[in-house]
A and B are shown apart, each in its own frame.
Chain A
Amino acid sequence: MKNWIDRQKNIIDFTLSSLFRRKGKNIALVSVFTLVVLLLSSVMFFTYSFRKEASIIMEDAPEMVVQRTVAGRHEMIPVSYIKIIQDIAGVQEVKARLWGYYYDPVTGANFTLMVSDEFPLEDGTITVGEGVSRVRLIYEGDWVEFKAYNGEIFELEVVDFLSVESGLVSSDIILITENDFRRLFGTTEEYATDLILRVRNPREITTVAIKVAELLPDTRQILREELLRTYDAVFNWRGGLLIVILTGSLLAFIIFAWDKASGLSADERREIGILKAIGWETSDIILMKFWEGLVVSLSSFLMGIILGYIHVFFIRSALFQPVLKGWAVLYPHFNLTPFINGAQVASLFFLTVVPFTVATIIPSWRAAIIDPDTVMR
């Protein structure tokens, strides 16, 4: 056993010296390989953690939302619909939601204004999310101007803030009283933005949705399952830009492996020829090349994964930020909770380290079985 270990150590020693002789080329190779793994692992960590977190957070979302649609567009819903829905067997509770968007001309940001019974406020006061406070530079006790639907300007006092930690769900939210909401948007008490309902038996939810659709044909029902499915599909690997990043990275990697597999440089051939001439066996040369492939791919893989983790969970995916922010003025500051999928990490390992190592061995094996004299010429 000791002999075997010593033999491997000697071969690795030789491999490292050989790699150091072509320092420039190999450093470039390791850097690009690391970058490819960094990019792939960042996408992997970000999307998996985001989807996992979304599935946990949205588990308590309303069981069903009923929207009214007019000419295919979302419209305010009559509060009288509550009575009709409440009479459906199995419905436990129906509530009206009041919410809307407010474009802030000062900053150019869009805020979500919400009325909540759970958060008691007095007329003339508001509670704002972390993003609103950051973008508008407002602090407790400040007054914020709003322009109503009829051009009237009125001020509301900031009395509280929603926690910074809840940014992922509340960054752009402004909690407002019902009276102020109606004054701002000019809606009457007979209308709400949409309705939410809870059903006694969760298995009856589809039946209830069908009944709502029959009784109120101008409505659209959105089930909680659909909400969860939406966020499961948000960063689906097939979706938009992700496929571009993944394809780019994979193509770069294929070019690498192809370059390695397609042949050896004149220097490398000569090296193999000399080693054969001084008595190395073909198996020793394959072993040396195996170690060479493993040294490059394993160090790059480990480094890439570690950097990918730091990128997503320590520096908030800084490389992806310009894409994620888009044209948004208000972008939530949030730290993702790290969820790692072991199977995904293993797949990345088998997709990068294994093919690269194999691609390094094949051309060397071809060169090693030729007569040393021919190879050296």
Chain B
Amino acid sequence: MRRTNFFFIYITVCFSLFILIFLHASIRRSREKSALYAKREMVHKFHLTDLCLFTEANYTRHLSQADLHTPFQDAPSSLEHFPSGGIVAPPEIIRRINEKLD
């Protein structure tokens, strides 16, 4: 078999898989719709305000409820030391005010 044919088979397989990921995503979305709404229902029922993503510190566990001066809790210009603080961007207002300090 010519190399071109091998290549076209390879690209066709890859392209089919590429299309398949959109299809798979759509199937999973419709399958998980009820689970998604169950989570939403739980948020409504328990009056939850945050997602349970980072449990290492109270202000990363409840990002939206954190004190406004959380980044400076240990010292007036202390740097954030929890790893999740490296992923989560602080609210824009805090970033704007303290830009020159950091």
Contact = CB atoms under 8 A, between A and B. Distances in A.
Interface of A: 9, 12-13, 16-17, 20, 53-54, 56-62, 65, 67, 69, 72-74, 95, 97, 101, 109-110, 112, 114, 116, 118-119, 129, 131, 162-163, 165-173, 175, 194, 196, 220, 222, 226-227, 230-231, 233-236, 238-242, 295, 298-299, 302-303, 305-306, 309, 313, 323-332, 335, 337-340
Contact of A302 (B3, B11, B41): B11
23 contacts: A9-B4, A16-B3, A20-B3, A61-B43, A61-B49, A62-B47, A65-B49, A72-B67, A72-B68, A112-B52, A162-B42, A163-B38, A165-B38, A173-B46, A230-B64, A231-B63, A236-B89, A239-B88, A240-B86, A306-B17, A323-B87, A326-B54, A326-B56
Contacts of A306: 14, 17-18, 21
Interface residues of B, number: 58
Interface of B: 2-4, 7, 10-11, 14-15, 17-18, 21-22, 24-25, 28-29, 32, 35-36, 38-58, 60-61, 63-65, 67-69, 82-89, 91-92
A327 B83 contact: yes
Given A101-B61, A110-B61, A331-B55, 17 more contacts: A9-B4, A12-B3, A58-B51, A60-B44, A65-B65, A72-B68, A110-B55, A172-B52, A226-B64, A240-B89, A302-B11, A305-B21, A323-B86, A326-B56, A326-B60, A337-B36, A338-B21
A170 B49 contact: no
A12 B2 CA distance: 10
Contacts of A12: 3-4, 7
A331 B56 CA distance: 9
B36 A57 contact: yes
Given A12-B7, A13-B2, A74-B65, A170 B42 contact: yes
B21 A299 contact: no
A227 B49 contact: yes
B39 A57 contact: yes
A328 B50 contact: no
Contacts of B42: 162, 166, 169-170
B2 A9 contact: yes
Contact of B64 (A173, A227, A327): A227
A118 B46 CA distance: 7
B82 A340 contact: no
A315 to B, nearest CB: 14
Nearest to B3: A16
A10 to B, nearest CB: 8
B29 A74 contact: no
Contacts of B15: 302
Nearest to B83: A326
B89 to A, nearest CB: 3
Nearest to A16: B3
A243 B83 CA distance: 15
Nearest to B45: A118
Given A74-B65, A239-B88, A295-B7, A169 B52 contact: yes
A242 B85 CA distance: 12
A336 to B, nearest CB: 9
A302 B86 contact: no
B87 A235 contact: yes
Contacts of B2: 9, 13
A192 to B, nearest CB: 12
B27 to A, nearest CB: 9
